[in-house]
DNA sequence: TTGCTTCTCAGGGAAAACCCTGAATTTTCA
DNA sequence: TGAAAATTCAGGGTTTTCCCTGAGAAGCAA
């Protein structure tokens, strides 16, 4: 019997997953939560073997969270759950201790297999994800992005969010009570870290990877 | 007894919704589909009272689809399902015949209420959405967006796509075999039509509304 | 035929973004 | 406590975007 927990800010997904496995004797859903606080509480109250973790939580970096959980709960296996099949995200997930990477368009069987595989300590890679990884490493057409998701600093995070909200350097500087030069530095670093050529790239990456 | 159908490209959401209402005697889920083709077939085979429609389907404009379905199936009530609470999207949905607008973070009760309300011919507005609409019309802080999704011309569409792909005006001009001045005109028109302040806004709107 | 939309192009100017180098101060953490 | 990371700021320059006005050509529909 496998106990698993869920952290996803969409109750729909949580409830759906829970009811999906309700009748399966092999897999027992321990609980589902929609906030980090709830999830942490639950983890302590009733530990699970496998945690399904949404990569794009409100205001939270799922990847970081994954690493964090892995350190705090060594026996815990984590399956990242996401809508985006971005190679950098996938790699970052695995580099940070994820046992699997599931697209939200995964079917019942795939989810089940992922959970059982993760439980047994092996990695599960969805066939679809595998394909994406392969095609991306061939690199036909698309701009090569960084192979991992760099960790943004607090400030960079803030600046990025404001950029995505269409604010100019001047406006951001005013809002953060710093000079425009400082904001420019952050912009430059963001471009570099995210491998973007300009604002368009920043916004695109930010939205796609759920960095904002 | 209410029959409802689902069209969402995430099997997880579809299966989740289906199983959520499996035990409810008042609401009967007719079917769930993940592709437009399947959905259309199902609509003819076994018509439903209410259709839950994902607003952001792969390559498809959910809003347009909504209008389309409304014309083809006059008795059908449609509930838009989405992750984004963008006021323009909400308004566009209602203007195109949607009976309700549900965020994917909606709870079981809200979904149930939305379905029954829609069935009875009334509109359902999630409290959370209502709040967003109000706060947006008050216009505190946020840039007011257009109340509808403007139709982009062929050329504008092309330019927008290239902008999202981080290309500069010069590069776009070269690619389309026109002068930079022409591309600038398209850019200006795009900003105007989409109600954006700069590239960041363009990219954001383009991605959120699935324009690219 | 007239009006509408789309697509094209231009001049000229202001604002914003991007690039490079260099550096001081504070925070964080091993 | 000491090194690394983060944050701050600057000069000075190039490129890109944004804004305004104006306009010709092509296609289409009433």
pLDDT given for residue B132 in this prediction: 63
* CA-angle at B117, arms to B133 and B26, nearest 5°: 140
Higher pLDDT, B62 or B111: B111
* Other CB atoms within 10 A of residue B163 CB: 26
Cα pseudo-dihedral B150, A204, A63, A121, rounded to 10: 90
Confidence of residue B13 (pLDDT cuts 50, 70, 90): confident
- A10 and B200: CB-CB below 8 Å? no
Give pLDDT tens digits for B142-178.
333 434 556 788 899 899 999 999 999 999 999 999 9
Q: What is the pLDDT of residue A35?
A: 85
* Mean pLDDT, rounded, of chain A: 79
Choice between A88 and B72, residue whose per-residue pLDDT is larger? B72
Q: Distances in Å between the alpha carbon of B97 and those of A28, B62, B75, B87, B120?
A: 41, 12, 11, 16, 15
Q: 0.75 exceeded by the pTM?
A: no
Residues B139, B145: Cα–Cα separation, whole Å: 10
Mean of pLDDT values over B109-116 = 84
Q: Determine the pLDDT at residue B195.
A: 87
* D27 C1' to A59 CA distance, Å: 50
Q: Of chain B residues 26-55, which have a CB less than 8 A from chain A?
A: 34
Residue B179 sits at the chain A interface (C-beta within 8 Å): no
Q: Which nucleotides of C are covered by protein (CB under 7 A)?
A: 5-12, 15-23
Q: Give me the mean pLDDT over the B132-136 stretch.
A: 53
Out of A12, A13, A204, closest to residue B164 by CB: A204
Q: Which of A106, A198, A204 shows the shortest C-beta gap to B12?
A: A106
* Residue ranges, CATH 1.10.10.10, chain A: 154-209
- Residues A120-177 have pLDDT tens digits of 877 787 777 766 655 443 333 233 333 445 678 889 988 999 999 999 999 999 999 9
Contacts of B109 in chain A (CB under 8 A): none
The predicted pLDDT at position A119 comes to 84
List of residues 6+ apart from B17 with CB closer than 8 A: A12, A16, B6, B8, B29, B32, B52, B111
Does CATH number 1.10.10.10 belong to domain B154-209? yes
- E strand segments, chain A: 2-7, 27-33, 50-54, 56-57, 60-61, 77-82, 100-103, 124-125
Q: What is the CATH number of domain B2-138?
A: 3.40.50.2300
- Residues spanned by CATH 3.40.50.2300 within chain A? 2-138
Mean pLDDT of chain B: 79
């Amino acid at each position: 019997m496998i106990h698993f927990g869920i952290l996803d800010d969409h109750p729909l997904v949580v409830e759906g997953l829970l009811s999906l496995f309700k009748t399966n004797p092999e897999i027992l859903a321990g609980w589902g939560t929609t906030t980090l606080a709830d999830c942490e509480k639950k983890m302590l109250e009733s530990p699970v073997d496998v945690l399904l973790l949404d990569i794009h939580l409100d205001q939270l970096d799922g990847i970081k969270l994954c690493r964090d959980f892995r350190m705090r709960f060594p026996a815990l296996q984590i399956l990242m759950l996401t809508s985006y099949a971005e190679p950098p995200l996938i790699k970052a997930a695995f580099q940070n201790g994820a046992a699997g990477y599931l697209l939200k368009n995964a079917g019942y069987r795939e989810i089940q297999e992922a959970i059982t595989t993760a439980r047994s300590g092996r990695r599960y890679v969805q066939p679809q994800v595998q394909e994406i990884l392969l095609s991306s490493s061939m690199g036909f057409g698309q701009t090569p992005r960084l192979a991992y998701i760099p960790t943004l600093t607090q400030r960079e995070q803030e600046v990025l969010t404001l950029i995505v909200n269409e604010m100019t350097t001047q406006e951001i500087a005013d809002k953060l009570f710093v000079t425009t030069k400082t904001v420019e530095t952050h912009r430059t670093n963001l471009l570099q870290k995210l491998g973007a050529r300009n604002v368009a790239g920043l916004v695109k990456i930010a939205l796609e990877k759920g960095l904002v």
